């Protein structure tokens, strides 16, 4: 079931424009942010520092990239296997052309991996010592490499600001704050451009249940922009455990969801939110247009792979005993991403 109620919006202008705000403003905003994340594992964030023009520009690049012919996009192919998680993964329209019109729910369409319903381009830091970026030749998409590199840096900066807001809202001391900062490595986070093509009513009827099935993100937290009014991102309410709530795109807001590392760090005070990208029921959709295309831009704020994430002792008590052993982020991420790669759904 889906609720119409969007998740609450938090304004973090006092952090993104510190000179025009007081410490008291920041404390109040940080505490409000923490309260929403504690309740939902998600928050809509405004005042993050990205202008409307910057967001439009990011979606314009998303469109220009995915509008390229498949053969051009495949000049920067994601290598087989989960690592390095870089470059283009997508839909071979030519290979699937002959199965596109299948109407049998038992046929090939039904068993097709859900990954066929999206295409993505993964970008890391230019200074990542573990995973190298995989770029298109510059004459295939002039300026894209420079743009995506700058977008990565910009979002990494926003991620640090949001992490500081969480630290202030939690009332961490200096040592705890230092441990929190290790959950965001500018060199090891990840930018993803996503495009979900339009889906026909026929496919909705027969085999398409979701654009991205329910999952958790395994890093610290994810910041995500969604295009226009297409929507579709939903989170499972951590309090009811069943009901899915819409994360509606609201003018310029980014959606932040808690990932596994922040859950472990806080011993479950923040829950890594289960989320999915849904499609409407076939009956709700126009025969001609189907479900329109959708674009999103997530940024996964992550620790360094060598960093061991341990629970802060302030979150451990007799009522809430330690739930997690310390874990090296690289090892954790490798096992989870290997699983996702095998099932091919994220």
Ligand X SMILES: O=C(O)CCC(=O)C(=O)O
Residue ranges in contact with ligand X by CB under 6 A = 192, 194, 212, 217, 224, 226, 233, 275, 277, 296, 298, 346
**Minimum distance, C-beta of residue 274 to ligand X, in the bound complex (Å):** 10
CB of 332 to ligand X, least distance (A): 16
Smallest distance from ligand X to CB 254, Å: 11
Q: CA-to-CA distance for 33 and 38, rounded, in angstroms?
A: 9
Report the C-alpha gap between 118 and 108 in whole angstroms.
Answer: 18
Q: ∠158-162-166 over CA atoms, to 5°?
A: 170
Strand arrangement, sheet containing 190-196: 9-11, 42-46, 254-258, 221-226, 294-301, 190-196, 119-123, 87-89
Shortest Cβ 218–ligand X spacing (Å): 9
What does the alpha-carbon distance between residue 272 and residue 267 come to, in Å, rounded to a whole number? 11
- Shortest Å, Cβ 211 to ligand X: 7
Half-sphere exposure of 297 (CA within 13 A, CB side): 24
Q: Which does 38 bind (CB under 5 to 8 A by kind): Fe ion, ligand X, none?
A: none
Residue 296 interacts with, from Fe ion, ligand X, none (CB under 5-8 Å by kind):
ligand X
Which residue number is nearest to Fe ion in terms of Cβ? 217
Residue 233 partner contact from Fe ion, ligand X, none using kind-dependent CB cut-offs of 5 to 8 Å: ligand X
Instruction: Give which of Fe ion, ligand X, none residue 116 binds (C-beta under 5 to 8 Å, depending on kind).
Output: none
109 lines the binding site for Fe ion (CB under 5 A): no
Tell me the chain's radius of gyration from C-alpha atoms: 20
**Residue with smaller CB distance to ligand X, 133 or 226:** 226
From the list Fe ion, ligand X, none, partner contacted by residue 277 (C-beta under 5 to 8 A by kind):
ligand X
Q: By three-state DSSP, how is residue 183 classified?
A: coil
Nearer to ligand X, 32 or 45 (CB): 45
The partner in contact with residue 192, picked from ligand X, Fe ion, none with C-beta cut-offs of 5 to 8 angstroms by kind, is: ligand X
Give the residue ranges of DSSP H helices in 93-231.
93-96, 108-111, 144-170, 174-181, 201-206
Distance of CA 280 to the CA centre of its chain: 21
What is the closest distance, in whole angstroms, from the C-beta atom of residue 275 to Fe ion in the complex? 6
The sign of the dihedral angle between the CA atoms of 103, 108, 114, 116 is negative
Strand partners for 98:
none
Q: How far is the CB of 150 from ligand X (least distance, A)?
A: 21
Per residue in 116-151, is it b (16+ CB within 10 Å) or e — as a string?
A: bbbbbbbbbbeebeebebbbbeeebbeebbebbbeb
Decide: is 263 part of the binding site for Fe ion (CB under 5 A): no
**Residue 217 sits in the site that holds Fe ion (CB under 5 A):** yes
- 99-107, 163-171, 216-224, 226-234 -> range binding Fe ion (CB under 5 A): 216-224
**CB closest to ligand X, residue no:** 296
Binding site for Fe ion (CB under 5 A): 217
């Amino acid at each position: 079931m889906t609720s119409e109620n969007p998740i609450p919006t938090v304004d973090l202008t006092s952090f993104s424009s510190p000179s025009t705000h007081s410490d008291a403003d920041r404390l109040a905003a940080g505490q409000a942010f923490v309260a929403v994340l504690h309740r939902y594992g998600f928050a809509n964030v405004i005042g993050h520092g990205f202008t409307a023009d910057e967001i439009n520009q990011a979606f314009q690049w998303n469109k220009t990239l995915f509008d390229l012919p498949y053969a051009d996009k495949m000049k920067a192919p994601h290598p087989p296997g989960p690592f390095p998680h870089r470059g283009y993964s997508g839909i071979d329209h030519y290979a699937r052309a002959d199965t596109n019109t299948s109407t049998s729910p038992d046929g090939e369409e039904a068993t097709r991996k859900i990954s066929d319903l999206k295409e993505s381009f993964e970008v890391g830091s230019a200074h990542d010592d573990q995973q190298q970026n995989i770029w298109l030749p510059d004459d295939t998409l002039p300026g894209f490499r420079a743009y995506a590199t700058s977008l990565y840096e910009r979002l990494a900066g926003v991620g640090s600001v949001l992490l500081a807001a969480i630290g202030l809202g939690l009332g961490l001391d200096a040592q705890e704050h230092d441990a929190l900062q290790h959950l965001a490595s500018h060199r090891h986070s990840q930018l993803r451009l996503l495009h979900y093509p339009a889906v026909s009513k026929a496919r909705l009827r027969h085999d398409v249940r979701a654009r991205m099935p329910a999952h958790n993100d395994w890093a610290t937290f994810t910041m995500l922009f969604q295009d226009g009014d297409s929507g579709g991102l939903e989170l499972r309410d951590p309090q009811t455990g069943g009901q899915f709530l819409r994360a509606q795109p609201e003018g310029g807001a980014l959606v932040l969801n808690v990932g596994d590392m922040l859950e472990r760090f806080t011993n479950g005070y923040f829950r890594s939110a289960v989320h999915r990208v849904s499609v409407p029921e076939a009956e709700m959709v126009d025969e001609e247009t189907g479900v329109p295309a959708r674009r999103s831009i997530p940024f996964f704020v992550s620790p360094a792979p060598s960093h061991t994430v341990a629970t802060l002792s302030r979150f451990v008590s007799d009522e809430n005993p330690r739930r997690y052993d310390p874990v090296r982020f690289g090892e954790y991420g490798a096992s989870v991403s290997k699983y996702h790669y095998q099932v091919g759904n994220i």
